[in-house]
A and B are shown apart, each in its own frame.
Chain A
Amino acid sequence: MVRSVGAPAQLLAGGFGPGAHTGARADAPPAVLPGEHFAFAACCLLLGAAGLVWTAPELAAGAFPSPRVVAVTHLWTLGWITTSILGALYQFLPVALGVPIRSERGAHASFALLALGVPAFAGGLAFALRPLVHAGASAVALALAIASVNLSLTLSRAPTRDVTWWALAGAALSLVLTLSLGLILAVAGGGVLGPGPLTLLGVHVHLALGGFVLLVVVGVASHLLPMFLLSHGAPAWPARVSAGLLGGGCASLALPLLGAGWWAPAALLTAGVAALVLQAALYYRHRVRRPIDAGMQIARAALVGLLLTAALGWTVLLGDATDPRLLTAYGLCAVTSLGLFVAGHYYKIVPFLIWFHRWGPQLGKAAVPRVADLTDPRLARVAFALLAAGVALSVVGVLGGSPWALRVAGAALLAGAGLEVAQLALALRRRNA
């Protein structure tokens, strides 16, 4: 069928909303949904980096169960990493899987509860205000329950079952299990840590980071890295292997709860991380564009951090599993490395979203900038150096028991995060091509 000139005019008049084109992909939601998540998450990152400076003495002593350390940890894990992931998924899922988000209203409700719950939970822990802890934990629990259901219902309607689908399905399940264990931890023994807390805490942390976060990374990276690096055609089997190993590793986390030890989950999760890093290395090696921008440099540094995390984990397992500084360094390395991975993708995702909504409708009609033009690459490289140095120095600071090293590390992270957030905020204000 040949359309008349009037037909494309109707298409153009219809903009880029639902029904404007007969393509197979579903519409991404309005920018406000990921945007509100990213704005709140950025605030949590800045607070979390400042919190590293604030809790330096406890971290240097290896006091990871300290309420203040737990508070700052959750600013990173819930406020920065999880909120960023949810915001990104609401944008990513419709285009990657071809189905719209099941409930945009549910996504907004989940965000509102997170935005209320995370500061309340972290603030209550940090300043010993128990009612605030309970209120915050309840809001966060409800937020993540809504998000998990929304994610699961969206996945259930997807027409394809590729590695991205399986990884995200595993991530959704891991999120529910993480939340359940977190609630058990919160009420057991009447404190943050109840009877026999170390094993429960370990399973909670590994489900959260190894299950939810890493499975999302596998699912999303297998889609985005080839696009960002122009490395189409690179072997993709390691992503499938990684998703399977991480899923198996999470399932085997039942073993430590039954008193059977950490060997199986450690082996499976380590192998899953190794397969993920191999997949990323293949994409980087097969890339057509040789220069790597700051966002992808940050992501690559984060993957190195994940390998270091795995090495620290095995040091714990093979050595003194009760050494508090080693355990603290292990957890800190995992959280900050994954936080770094997210920070790298902000340099790709946020400018793209800004471009998509501001200049996308102008494409073909007027000169438009490139996505890369929206941020200064030199400043982005400075941010990368600060963030990577902050992660590395924080681990060194814990292992060396140095509060000063941790303060410097926190300051570097704060400066790097501040620079990145400022750049992205400036990109948001840009109007001209």
Chain B
Amino acid sequence: MTEEDPIVQRAFEALRQVIDPEIGLDIVTLGLVYDVTVEDGALAVTYTLTTPGCPMERVITGGILHALAGLDGVTGITPNLVFEPRWTPGFIQGDVR
């Protein structure tokens, strides 16, 4: 399914609740969410962290699960943490300055 899928759109919206507390921006605006797909109601979220040694790994992953678990029509969630492509500040949407 594509990003036009209503569940995927709602998933992206829900993921905006998940902030990086140090930077103060949500993970969608930060460009940390690479992809969200859905198949028979099962969401797969491909995301990264600002750096592989980020201490926020478990908390961000937990936040993603929390944020998506309550969405109507979602039957499962698979979090896929990747480090390729490596995140850079250029992925941030808008002006963070």
Partners in one complex: yes
Binding site for B on A (CB under 8 A): 1-5, 7-9, 11-12, 16, 20-21, 23, 25, 27-28, 91-92, 95-98, 223, 226-228, 230-233, 288-290, 348, 352, 355-356, 359-361, 363-365, 368-372
Judging by beta carbons under 8 Å apart, are B22 and A16 in contact? no
Judging by beta carbons under 8 Å apart, are A8 and B65 in contact? yes
Judging by beta carbons under 8 Å apart, are B53 and A25 in contact? yes
In the complex, which residue of chain B has the Cβ closest to the Cβ of A288?
A: B89
Q: Indicate which residue in B67, B87, B96 contacts A364 across the interface (CB closer than 8 Å).
A: B67
Q: Indicate which residue in A223, A231, A359 contacts B53 across the interface (CB closer than 8 Å).
A: A223
Q: Indicate which residue in A12, A28, A359 contacts B69 across the interface (CB closer than 8 Å).
A: A12
Smallest beta-carbon distance B46→chain A, Å = 14
Judging by beta carbons under 8 Å apart, are A363 and B97 in contact? no
Judging by beta carbons under 8 Å apart, are B63 and A364 in contact? yes
Main secondary structure of the interface of A (DSSP, over half): loop
Judging by beta carbons under 8 Å apart, are B89 and A232 in contact? yes
Judging by beta carbons under 8 Å apart, are A372 and B69 in contact? no
Q: Indicate which residue in B18, B23, B62 contacts A16 across the interface (CB closer than 8 Å).
A: B62
In the complex, which residue of chain B has the Cβ closest to the Cβ of A28?
A: B55
Bound complex: CA of A226 vs CA of B49, how far in Å? 13
Binding site for A on B (CB under 8 A): 17-19, 21-24, 39, 42, 44, 50-51, 53-69, 74-79, 81, 87-89, 92, 96-97
Bound complex: CA of A25 vs CA of B58, how far in Å? 9
Smallest beta-carbon distance A312→chain B, Å = 35
| Set of chain A residues within 8 Å of B24, measured between Cβ atoms | 370-372
Smallest beta-carbon distance A47→chain B, Å = 30
Judging by beta carbons under 8 Å apart, are A363 and B57 in contact? no
Judging by beta carbons under 8 Å apart, are A369 and B21 in contact? yes
Smallest beta-carbon distance A360→chain B, Å = 4
**Lowest 10 A-B CB distances belong to which pairs?**
A364-B66, A363-B63, A364-B63, A364-B67, A288-B89, A2-B42, A360-B59, A370-B24, A95-B55, A96-B53
Q: Indicate which residue in A20, A227, A348 contacts B51 across the interface (CB closer than 8 Å).
A: A227
Judging by beta carbons under 8 Å apart, are B97 and A288 in contact? yes
Smallest beta-carbon distance A333→chain B, Å = 31
Specify which of B50, B61, B64, B75 lies most central, judged by the most chain A CB atoms within 10 Å of its CB.
Answer: B61
Judging by beta carbons under 8 Å apart, are B57 and A5 in contact? no
Smallest beta-carbon distance A284→chain B, Å = 14
Judging by beta carbons under 8 Å apart, are A3 and B76 in contact? yes
Bound complex: CA of A276 vs CA of B52, how far in Å? 22
Q: Indicate which residue in A2, A96, A97, A360 contacts B78 across the interface (CB closer than 8 Å).
A: A2
Judging by beta carbons under 8 Å apart, are B69 and A95 in contact? no
In the complex, which residue of chain B has the Cβ closest to the Cβ of A1?
A: B78
| Set of chain B residues within 8 Å of A11, measured between Cβ atoms | 62, 65
